[in-house]
Amino acid sequence: MSQIERCLEILESLHGQPAGIPLSHLSEQLGMPKSAVHRLLATLKDNGYVEQIEESGIYRATLKLSLIGAKYFSTTDLRGFLEPVIGALSQKTRELSRMSMLVGDELLWVLSSQGGNHILRYDGHSGRKVVPHITATGRVWLASMSDEDAVATAIGAGLGKPELKRPGTRGVDTVQALLKELERTRKQGYGLVEQEAEAGVSSIACPIYDQEDETRFLGTVSVAGPSVRMTRKTMEAMLPDVRETAQQLSTVLFRYRVFCGSLSDPSIGVLTVNGGEPDNARRAGLRV
């Protein structure tokens, strides 16, 4: 292990013990000789990352590392933090990965990344409202509500209006069918649809919740693609990666809010990782 790696281990340990820790305990915790730990602490102290309380000899982290992080967050817009996370998921799945966020009382697609070089691709609709009752993303959103609110939202979006149903799709079109799907979605913790919003397209989605309030729904992350590739078995195999991405996005949103004080960032309106103007593009300020 290099000296840099040892320093990083020390900093991680100290940041996990805000009140500080004695040299002997830190040495034992890291499995390193006291002399080696002492030398590294002296270097970190000289550079302002660590301080020693003279009366007790306890070492603790200073705010320097936190201030560096705060400066980084304050000079980088929200898009800069979200793009790599969505991009990584699209590279893993080799399909279209998307993020939606609750903007006011609407759920909008805000960020997308197309993975793979398939001839047959699904490009999605960044910037448009999510149709809640026939999409995996929308089902997850509705599942976060009471049944009464979910039904009202779905009816407002066209549930029960056969004239709005696209040819070749098999989406839910009754309240009873919707409630059955919402029960399944809540039980399994993710949304999954096969050729419901569009013929030949299937998708899977997981919710993004607020880390401070785990009942507060913020948005979703999803993967969509042609049904010939996106079989149920394939989508279920993707589930761990989609769930992990949802957790990562939740962490990004939480840290951004902590350091910047707000998630009201107009740059998040309509975003595409791989460039190009999204269809029906429009800006939408984020209010979460």
- Residue 141's DSSP bridge partners are none
Q: Hey, what amino acid is at 18?
A: P
pLDDT at 73: 58
Spatial separation of the C-alpha atoms in residues 27 and 225, rounded to whole Å? 51
> For residue 133, which phi and psi values (nearest 5 degrees)?
-85, -10
pLDDT at 128: 65
Judge whether 120 and 228 are in contact, CB under 8 Å.
yes
pLDDT at 245: 97
CATH class of 76-272: alpha beta
Q: Is the dihedral of CA 232, 233, 238, 242 positive or negative?
A: positive
Task: Report CA-CA distances (Å) from 139 to 101, 147, 287.
Answer: 14, 12, 21
Within the chain, which residue ranges are assigned CATH 1.10.10.10? 3-62
Judge whether 63 and 71 are in contact, CB under 8 Å.
no
Within the chain, which residue ranges are assigned CATH 3.30.450.40? 76-272
Average pLDDT in the 195-220 region?
Answer: 91
pLDDT at 287: 30
State yes or no: pLDDT of 283 exceeds 70.
no
Residue 277 per-residue DSSP state:
P
pTM metric for this prediction: 0.69
**Pick from 67, 65, 97, 103: which is nearest to 82 by CA?**
97
State yes or no: pLDDT of 274 exceeds 50.
no
In this predicted structure, which of 28-37, 101-110, 133-142 has the lowest mean pLDDT?
101-110
Judge whether 114 and 96 are in contact, CB under 8 Å.
yes
Its CATH architecture, for the domain 3-62, is Orthogonal Bundle (1.10)
| Sequence-ordered alpha helix ranges (H) in the chain | 3-15, 23-30, 34-46, 64-74, 78-93, 136-143, 147-156, 175-188, 232-260
